[in-house]
Amino acid sequence: MFSIFIISMIIFILTMVVMMLASILSKKSLSDREKNSPFECGFDPMSSSRLPFSLKFFLITIIFLIFDVEIALILPMILIINFSNIMMWSMTSIIFIMILLLGLYHEWREGMLNWSN
């Protein structure tokens, strides 16, 4: 027991020493306007290289991932209906689907499903 404690302390101290050395010896560079700007044949850029990103695409991706994981969790529930207690399976399924419906209602109420704006 004592040897495990000693070994874990040695590993912890060694990790801290390596992290401190890495932060001290790392090459720090100051932000420079020329280094941060995009390269266009040696000239200053004509316009901003950063295009504005629509938040709707991000929200669509997040909603898709949520429903994708939801389906991946519902499909095994259908397969185990024959091997489990029907009462326990029903309660688990109802609770899971209610949580998902509450999440969908929250998204709808917050306006995340409005595609017209």
Residue 22 lies in a domain: no
Structural domain boundaries enclosing 91:
55-110
pLDDT tens figures, 51-95? 677 777 777 888 888 888 888 888 888 888 888 899 999 999 999
| Number of structural domains the chain divides into | 1
pTM of the model: 0.48
Sign, Cα dihedral of 33, 39, 41, 44: negative
pLDDT tens figures, 14-56? 999 999 988 888 766 556 666 666 665 666 556 666 667 777 7
The secondary element (H helix, E strand) that includes residue 112 is none
Residue 104 lies in a domain: yes
CA distance 91 to 77: 12
Q: What Å distances lie between residue 64 and 25, 56, 114, CA to CA?
A: 43, 12, 15
CA distance 106 to 117: 18
Residue 67 lies in a domain: yes
Residue 19 lies in a domain: no
Residue 64 lies in a domain: yes
